[in-house]
Amino acid sequence: VQLQASGGGLVQAGGSLSLSCAASGPTFNNYALGWFRQALGKEREFVAAIRWSTGSTYYANSVKGRFTISRDRAKNTVHLQMNGLKPEDTAVYYCAYNRGVITSTVRAPEQYEYWGQGTQVTVSS
């Protein structure tokens, strides 16, 4: 599985950005695509995920109501629309692929087997 992320950039607080991640290669019956982020000096943390088969979505509390994850099944692409950005959202964002997602562990980065390259999101105050 290969993941190609795009988007990101620099935006002022309160602004919006959109990230995309295109997946290619073999697929699995119950997979999920997720977004994680890692700020400088901090651990990687879960942002959002979507179960591909059902479209069920999962969010970190810190982004709920501001970020929206969606999928384009025809293009095998996941999108992350980020609105109301805050300086604390500044991080490198990674998309990741979970071959056999389980709801109880969907937020755990160690459950994701494949990772895309990171894309920088910087929110200025």
Pairing label, strands 119-124, 9-12: parallel
CA distance 100 to 121: 28
Q: For position 29, what pLDDT does the model report?
A: 74
pLDDT digit string (tens) for the chain, length 125 residues: 999 999 999 999 999 999 999 999 877 778 999 999 999 999 999 999 999 999 999 999 999 999 999 999 999 999 999 999 999 999 999 999 999 888 889 999 999 999 999 999 999 99
